[in-house]
Structures are given as C-alpha cells and as structure tokens.
C-alpha cells in the first residue's frame, strides 16, 4: 500500500469507522503495515548513518593534521548525527 494511503487510514478519525468487524480488521492490517514500514525505514536510516561515519573515518587524517577532505568528513559526521535524531 502506498505511504499516502497508509497515512490516510492512520489519520482517519474513529468516528468515520463503521461498526463493521471487517473494517476494524482492515484498519488493524494497515496499522501493522505502517509499523513494519517505519521499522524498515529506521533500519535503513541506521545503516545510512553508519555508512556516513565510516566515510568520515576514511576521509579523515590523523589528529593534528589538516587534510584535503576534512570539511567533507565533518559534513558526513554532521549528517550522521542528524539521521540519528
């Protein structure tokens, strides 16, 4: 199901739900799907942050030295931190 559809169902006020067991099952199914999608995205964000940390480490030079990629390494670290928030 598309993100737009999942968000629409999750934001649907309960007053619009019918007293239909089938509709409750459908809403519950959408909620479970949305939760799974959020978990998968969280895993991907964690992987992206780890990749940015690795890249920053590869671009950095030993302490006290100035390297040509220090600015890029700092940007990678900053992006990784933003992803973790």
Residue 50's domain comprises 3-84
Number of domains in the chain: 1
Residue 77 has φ and ψ, to the nearest 5°, of -65, -40
Output the CA angle 37-50-69, nearest 5 degrees.
Answer: 135
Alpha-carbon span 84 to 44, nearest angstrom: 11
The model carries a pTM of 0.64
Helix (H, G, I), strand (E, B) or coil at 52: helix
Alpha-carbon span 74 to 70, nearest angstrom: 6
Per-residue pLDDT of the chain (85 residues; tens, 9 = 90+): 677 877 787 787 878 777 788 888 888 888 888 888 888 988 999 999 999 999 999 988 877 777 889 899 999 999 999 998 8
């Amino acid at each position: 199901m598309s993100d737009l559809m999942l968000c629409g169902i999750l934001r649907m006020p309960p007053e619009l739900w019918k007293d239909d067991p089938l509709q409750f099952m459908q809403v519950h199914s959408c909620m479970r799907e949305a939760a799974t999608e959020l978990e998968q995205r969280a895993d991907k964000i964690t992987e992206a942050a780890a990749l940015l940390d690795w890249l920053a480490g590869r671009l950095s030079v030993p302490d006290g030295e100035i390297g040509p990629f220090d600015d890029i390494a700092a940007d990678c670290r900053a992006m990784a931190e933003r992803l973790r928030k």
